Structure 1
């Protein structure tokens, strides 16, 4: 059995001048080396080689299909569109890889990948046929098919299908988590909608108060600050009399009313004189 030497540390007591402290002690130990996992090594090598072949296929197909499309459009646009032919089935393989534990979900990207591959192969073959090289076009188309088949074999090896009961359990857990994730967006949408409704109702709430007595004063209690009734134009004397008859006794309020209804330049002395006369007459 093969071993390898590694260095480890441990705490040991160390005493100096009668005082003991725990210090690190470094030591080496031989540990056994596990046997090489050749299966994993081979699988890693096959996966890397398949990835390299995909790159080669993309370059070949892009060159062929790009030259085919360049007959009717400018070269940059033609080669950019040519990448989509192989990129489509490569992306389908990536989704199939993500669904390797769920055969039902992996079936759709697998079928879509085969369809995209067939279109790419037809395009490569058409380029060879139009160029007068039918054999080269057919061989070039087969290259993409070989690489896709190789990747199908690799994916089948990586796939770990679950038994029926475990698959049902996984589906239920996935549905529950998906429902929780969906409720996050739904709750956000509902909150936004309710906020819009509240804002709309607040903007439209412009009608009169349901209580006709806007001052909030009870009908049984007199208003401590009565206001004189508004009538037509009048003299200073009449305005003073109206204010007093309305229950206004504050000279400043009477002066304000006189200036509002009779004379805007009424003097306080004049108003006071009429107040005294009105009170003596009353």
Structure 2
């Protein structure tokens, strides 16, 4: 059985003249080697070969179509346009791989990839036909077909097919997460809007020298019973409100304090807000 040497270090007690200290001790042990994972090796080899085929196809197609298009335009532009023919179906195959657990969405990328491959092969064949070498054009067109076929087989080697129930479970979980991700920019936009509205209100108060809302009571005596608290004084704590403002891009202490006051329904302590902001700055650094 094959083994390999492993170095292990650990703290051990060591006593000298009656004084014990923990010192670092190094030992070397022999551990058995795990069996070679031939499945992983073959899968990696298939992937490397597929990437090589795609690279060869991209180079050949670019050279052929670029040479054909250079008859009508300058060479630099022609060869730049020639890259787009194979890159299109390569991109579609990448999207198909990303959507492999969502067959309905992956179907469009698969069909678009087939169309792009057909156009690319036709252009390569047209290049050979134009110069009177149709066998060369046919062989060149087959290069793209072989590359796409090889990459399709490689993707199947990496794929993990799901049964119907598991696929539905994955789809629901992904939909829930996608919904939460979609709400992030919405909440940020709303918070920025609220911050602008609050800033405008404060500016109007400063200009008028009083309350921006004449119908709003300014003193506690206008409240018939100041000891009565609302049933739900605020769904957010000060710490949570500071975190939401920070995640929304509001980092100015005054703006954060105003947002916290609106979100919690009570004035926020400047020291408390600054303490939470300081913790967030340290965590972000």
TM range (shorter): 0.5 to 0.7
1:19 CA displacement: 1.2
Cross-structure match for 2:117: 117
In 1, the alpha carbon distance for the partners of 2:177 and 2:20 equals 56
Number of matched residues? 207
What is the CA distance between 1:108 and its match in structure 2?
2.1
1:218 is matched with which residue? Answer: none
Task: Give the whole-Å Cα distance in 2 for the aligned partners of 1:145 and 1:47.
Answer: 17
Query: 1:107: Cα distance to partner?
Result: 2.3
- Mean Cα displacement is larger for which, 167-176 or 111-120? 167-176
Structure 2 residue matching 1:13: 3-state secondary structure: strand
- TM-score, length-scaled by structure 2: 0.66
1:188 Cα offset (Å):
3.4
Per-residue deviation, 1:152: 0.7
Q: Over residues 175-212 of structure 1, what are the superposed CA-to-partner deviations in whole Å (9 max), with x where a residue is unaligned?
A: 11211222222233445556777859x99xx9xxx99x
Report the CA distance shift for 1:195/1:135 in structure 2 as closer, same or farther (over 3 A): same
Conserved? CA contact 1:57–1:143, under 8 Å: yes
- Partners of 2:136 and 2:88 in 1: how far apart? 23
Structure 1 residue 170 corresponds to structure 2 residue 180: no
- In structure 2, what is the Cα distance between the partners aligned to 1:187 and 1:24? 52
Unaligned 5+ runs, structure 2: 215-285
The answer to whether the 8 Å contact 2:117/2:145 transfers is yes
CA distance in 2, matches of 1:178, 1:18: 64
Relative to structure 1, the CA distance from residue 188 to residue 18 in structure 2 (aligned partners, 3 Å threshold; closer, same or farther) is closer
Corresponding residue for residue 47 of structure 2 = 47
Q: Secondary structure at the match of 2:41?
A: helix
TM-score (norm 1): 0.67
Instruction: Give the structure 2 partner of residue 70 of structure 1.
Output: 70
Residue pair 2:10, 2:24 contacting (<8 A) in 1 also: yes
Partner secondary structure for residue 15 of structure 1: strand
SS in 2 for 1:25: strand
Residue 20 in structure 1 maps to residue 20 in structure 2: yes
Structure with larger RCO (C-alpha < 8 A, sep 6+): 2
Q: Tell me the distance in 2 between the aligned counterparts of 1:38 and 1:84.
A: 37
Residues 1:131 and 1:8: Cα distance change in structure 2 (over 3 Å): same
Alignment partners' CA distance in 2, 1:24 and 1:111: 62
Shift of 1:137: 0.3
After TM superposition, the structure 1 stretch with the greater mean CA deviation from structure 2, 133-142 or 20-29, is 20-29
> Separation in 2 of the partners of 1:10 and 1:29?
13
